[in-house]
Structure 1
Amino acid sequence: MNVKDQIHLTCPVETCWEIIDIELVTRQIDPLTYDLLNKKLLNRQESASEEVEEYLYQKISCLSCKTIAAMDKKAIHFKCRNCSKEYCSYCHKDWPGSNLHNECRLLNCSGTKCFQELHVPPDNWEESYSALNIEQNELKGLPKTSLVSLNGREGRAIISLFIQTSPDLWITKIIRLQNMKLWEKYVLKRKHMVEEIGVSNVNERVLFHGTNEKNISLISEEGFDMRVETANGALFGKGTYFSTTSKYSQIYSGSSNKMFMVRVLCGYSVQGSASYKRPPKDTSGRLYDSCVNNESGPNIYCLFDNSQCYPAYVIEYKKK
């Protein structure tokens, strides 16, 4: 028996695999060796507990009183035990206060570590095959992808957002795009926006984008290109368009029955104009982050910087 990083208490009989109860070890070895073994076991237990806690929980500092608390990583509704302030841990907006927290539930699937370290992928990305190889002639040429379970937390959140305006449709497949090149650009832009205007004003949304099927592979590989002429006539600026409703995006999906679900950094928005090649400046001289069809209740966003948009999913659907 040796005291090593990995502890094994083995019977001297080569063919015997009997496990020795730790409490019986004191009868077989001297007290000093037993103490060393016991200390190693306790250290391992503590280390394992810390790893489990780190995996399941995150430390949250109350925005109001700065009290530190542990919170389930999958949850977004935070209520401070000290001052009773309630807010969304993802977007930092008051709870309930916003009707967009259902989007935050989906956005939160990525975790937060991926925003703290540029080269760390989102928590929900998987070691995956190409989801496109399942059926031939289907979205050929996409980068790394993974099928999303329709019954899992992520899949249910996507379906909930999709059917809000398309109750007559069934989602048949959700393909998660895991394009690290595009993701890093998005994370870096998000970081800069957080530094400039704060997390609560970044206004990160989950929006829809319908397009011709021939464009799906290119967008998945290279992202959105603001230089490409839009199908809707660029009513609110010469950028790329996204909708808050899946129903509207169906118009531009044609017969493909596929559309993108996109993470978009909308930031501060302003009424759009067909003449805009970029957003106008606000009173402080800073460019607005996006243009919209209606400032009081936008359902169409026009973006001019492709690093503000990450094509997160390709959704396939059919009529009920």
Structure 2
Amino acid sequence: MDYYHDRRVVQHAASQPWVRGFRLDEIDYKNETYQWIYDKMHNSISIHNGVKISKYHIVKIYQVKNSFLWSKYTARRSEIARDFPRGQLAPEIRLFHGTCHADVIVRNGFNVKYSNELSMFGKGIYFSDVSSKCNQYTFEAGGSGACKLHGNVHCTLCKRKMLVCKVTLGRNFRANMPMNGILRPPHGCHSVVAYPAQSFLKYPEYVIYNNYQAFPSYMIEYKISI
């Protein structure tokens, strides 16, 4: 799929109404956006370490309304757009971010200082279009963590949280090998993107290095079935 020209992405990308301050608005399950997120999650499930999720049981979906983060995001997006021909929009994409810190991020935004520069693509903020990839990071930072209550990586009883974020990729650098240790994208680029390749990467990864280059549009509370 050409994500930059996905009409559904464009439609929902324009759906963030202005609000002063911070608020989480629960989305009704009959709402078109709810169904769009439900489909986006279920259509991007893969096998991880021999285990495949059979279903996401969504508890609630919230639209995030945060005027401070939104203004910071749009300012960064405009800054990136200046590196493109006049009138051309900076490429954006809707991506998943799995984290045990979802509640903090929707209030205060992303913070790259908590990233590990020894990660595959350096000290950045990581996203994927594969929901089950991000699901692995919902119990513990760094992935492969178990729930605190049952000590189970594949726990079907504990609630998890995942974000759907609007990410301005801008001009991306296509990585074909690890880039451990970098603190910013290569010169002239705004992000690093890597696609699956034999003996390199199993699932796509999208990495930014600026706190305000992504906006957490939706927060999903859910459980899984295996």
Matched pairs, number: 191
Q: Is 1:210 matched up with 2:98? A: yes
> Partner residue of 1:273?
179
Q: Is 1:253 matched up with 2:163? A: no
Higher strand share: 2
Relative to the length of structure 1, the TM-score reads 0.53
Q: Is 1:308 matched up with 2:209? A: no
> Please, which of 98, 121, 124 is the counterpart of residue 2 of structure 2?
98
> Please, which of 294, 310, 317 is the counterpart of residue 195 of structure 2?
294
| Residues 91-119 of structure 1: per-residue CA shift (max 9 Å, x gap) | xxxxxx825544x414423538xxxxxxx
1:310 partner SS: strand
Q: 1:265 to 1:229 in 2, by over 3 A?
A: same
- Supply the distance in 2 between the matched residues of 1:162 and 1:220 (Cα, whole angstroms): 19
- Supply the distance in 1 between the matched residues of 2:98 and 2:138 (Cα, whole angstroms): 4
| Residues 95-149 of structure 1: per-residue CA shift (max 9 Å, x gap) | xx825544x414423538xxxxxxxxx34x679xxxxxxxxxxxxxx93110112
Q: 1:175 to 1:156 in 2, by over 3 A?
A: same
Contact 1:173/1:316 (<8 A) preserved: yes
Contact 2:3/2:93 (<8 A) preserved: no
- Supply the distance in 2 between the matched residues of 1:143 and 1:165 (Cα, whole angstroms): 30
| Residues 188-210 of structure 1: per-residue CA shift (max 9 Å, x gap) | 11122223225766221111111
> Partner residue of 2:48?
none
2:95 partner SS: strand
Higher mean C-alpha displacement, 296-305 vs 160-169: 296-305
Listed as ranges, the matches of 1:53-72 within 5 Å are none
> Please, which of 55, 61, 64 is the counterpart of residue 177 of structure 1?
64
> Please, which of 84, 100, 120 is the counterpart of residue 197 of structure 1?
84
- Supply the distance in 1 between the matched residues of 2:121 and 2:39 (Cα, whole angstroms): 28
> Partner residue of 1:221?
107
- The amino acid across from 1:109 in the alignment is H
Higher helix share: 1
| Residues 43-70 of structure 1: per-residue CA shift (max 9 Å, x gap) | xxxxxxxxxxxxxxxxxxxxxxxxxxxx
Relative to the length of structure 2, the TM-score reads 0.73
Q: 1:107 to 1:233 in 2, by over 3 A?
A: farther
Query: Residue 233 of structure 1: CA displacement?
Result: 5.0
Query: Residue 244 of structure 1: CA displacement?
Result: 1.3
Listed as ranges, the matches of 1:158-169 within 5 Å are 158-166=37-45, 168-169=55-56
- Give the RMSD, CA atoms, in angstroms: 2.9
Q: 1:150 to 1:233 in 2, by over 3 A?
A: farther
- Supply the distance in 1 between the matched residues of 2:224 and 2:127 (Cα, whole angstroms): 22
> Partner residue of 1:148?
27
| Residues 201-251 of structure 1: per-residue CA shift (max 9 Å, x gap) | 622111111112xx2222111100011134x95111111111111110011
Q: Any stretches of 5+ residues in structure 2 without a counterpart?
A: 46-53, 140-146, 148-158
- The amino acid across from 2:210 in the alignment is D
Q: Any stretches of 5+ residues in structure 1 without a counterpart?
A: 1-96, 113-121, 128-141
Contact 1:263/1:311 (<8 A) preserved: yes
- Supply the distance in 1 between the matched residues of 2:93 and 2:103 (Cα, whole angstroms): 23
- The amino acid across from 2:81 in the alignment is V
